[in-house]
Amino acid sequence: MPNVKCLISRLLLAIGFLLAWVVPANAQASELRLSLHKDWGYSAGGQVQGLFTLLVRGPQDMVSVRFDLDGEEIATLTQPPFALQFNTDKYPTGWHKLSATARTSSERTLASNVINVEFVSAEQGWQVVQRIMTPLLVIIVGVILISTLGQFLLTGRGQRRFEPGAPRNYGAAGGAICPKCKRPFARHLISPNLLVGKLERCPYCGKWSVVPPASREALAAAEAAESQASRPSVPEASPEEKLRRQLEQSRYE
């Protein structure tokens, strides 16, 4: 048992020395943080291509920062902000290690974390984007077609119409005003949303349009306008008719 206790004591002592040596080094390294930000280009799964910025965050008393690629200096900055913009196309394709080293006004040298990335060519980046975007575009187009077809089959020409000025409920999707005939109608929940508005078929004129939701005030004004337009107009009397009316009125004066 004494030997076991002695062995455990020596093991704990060794761990203590190891922590005393490792922790300060890691603490010093953690003072300098290097990050990579995409400005323009492609970035996915550790692969990058295009214009990027290396940004260093650290102590306030940093006086210079050296940026390295695979241990070779890219550039050294002596004034904040310590941010270096670079283009991956200027360097060989393949895996690379990005790092930074800073010097402080107190003559300390700080090492940053290492970022491992793979520089790819513009052609490779575009091919990956195509593989990702093509299925998404197919899905989006399919949803739009299904929504449009469903709207036409479920409502189509049989969509409920209202008499001019009649009270109506525009539903959860809100109401819209047809840009062609200017009449208000209810939008459908199943209609495809194209960001600026829903693709809808006007139940009155039958035209397809992308219509945003209209405010209550705008809908009320459109209802009043259609009600006014539906009233029979009184034709203006001809000059002969006006003269006849004047003669008849003069008989009673």
- Consecutive sets of 10 residues in the chain, 253 residues long: mean pLDDT of each? 54 50 43 94 90 95 96 95 95 96 95 95 72 70 64 52 76 90 88 86 88 92 85 68 72 60
Residues comprising the chain, all counted = 253
pLDDT, residue 253, reads: 58
Closest among 32, 42, 26 to 62, alpha carbons compared: 32
Find all residues with CB under 8 Å of 95, minimum gap 6, and list them: 116, 117, 118, 119
pLDDT, residue 127, reads: 65
pLDDT, residue 211, reads: 93
pTM score:
0.46
CATH 2.60.40.10 fits 29-120, yes or no: yes
Q: Where are the domains of the chain?
A: 29-120, 150-230
CA 36 to CA 114: how far, in whole Å? 11
Distances (CA, A) of 153 to 157, 205, 236: 9, 17, 45
CA 69 to CA 49: how far, in whole Å? 15
pLDDT, residue 229, reads: 79
How does strand 208-211 pair with strand 198-201? antiparallel
